[in-house]
Amino acid sequence: MSTSPHIADVTLNDFSKRVLEKSREVPVLVDFWAGWCGPCRMLTPVLTRLAEAYAGKFFLAKVDTDVERELATQYAIRSLPTVKVFRNGEGLTEFMGAQPESAIRRFIDPYIARDADAVVDKALAAHRSGHDDEAVGLLRRAVDADPADDRAKLVLASIYVEQSRLNEAQAVHGMLSAKAKTEAEALALAGRIRFARIVATAPPADELEKMIAADPDDCKARSQRSARQVLANDYESALSNLLEIVKRTRRFHDDAGRQYMLAVFDLLGGKGELVSKYRRLLSSALN
């Protein structure tokens, strides 16, 4: 058994404490291995070296599957070595086979708490208390200190949107990593920036309603009204207005009705009852 405080051999009896409970404090990597497994012997020193290098930012739990067959069955281990990551009591993802150190770092790093996380949490608390200048200052320092911290950038850009500082929001969004830009939160943020730009030059909501009532084909007023509805989180009304644009004309701003509907879908995470409903309605309108 290892004498390191960051590594332990784990059995069925202490799996709950050593893995599930521990994973509420830090990520836990569970290495399912066996003595006869050659790739396991190759992987063990790499995992051990990383556990020491990360100095407690993750915990390495080793499970000998020849002895702990019940655990191997419970976690559907079919190939050795298999390494699973647990966080907050749940198994999240895994890799199989011997891997180089660089690949394992890429595997675990998304689950490792960054030093800037505490700063971001403090900034969020300040924002919730109405102290936006303090929040922005904290977040800008966090981004400067750790340019790879996408979380700080997303929170900072979101506050900029709320403050109508859209050019700054766009600039911070552009600093996100390529991977982060494809994820739901960044896609939603991009949509909010887009709709906030429309609202910035739009007439008041009551005036837009009058314009649409006077001319139902006024697609510009409909798009502006939908943008206001998006920012007010009235997504169904926004999608209804945008769908009406699609039905009336595809020529408005190069099919803007459809494009804006897709942006709202991104805002909603691309799934859910409302998204499914309006995807079907959009499909019908296009066919």
Residue 13 neighbours by CB distance under 10 Å: 9
Candidates 29, 40, 169, 172; catalytic one: 40
Backbone angles phi and psi of 85, in degrees to 5: -105, 130
C-alpha 106/C-alpha 85 separation (Å) is 12
Are 49 and 31 spatial neighbours (Cβ–Cβ below 8 Å)?
no
Sheet holding 59-64, edge to edge: 7-9, 59-64, 28-33, 82-87, 90-96
Quick one: which H or E segment has residue 254? none
Q: Does 81 sit behind a cis peptide bond, omega within 30 degrees of 0 on the bond before it?
A: yes
Q: Is 219 a catalytic residue?
A: no
Residue 64 neighbours by CB distance under 10 Å: 18
Place of tokens 């805002």: 267
Backbone angles phi and psi of 265, in degrees to 5: -60, -40
C-alpha 209/C-alpha 237 separation (Å) is 13
Please choose, from the candidates 108, 94, 23, the residue with its C-alpha nearest in 3D space to the C-alpha of residue 61. Answer: 23
The DSSP call for residue 114 is P
Candidates 30, 37, 227, 282; catalytic one: 37
Buried b (16+ CB within 10 A) or exposed e, 170-181: bebbeebeeebe
- Residue 19 in tokens: 């893995």
Catalytic residues: 37, 40
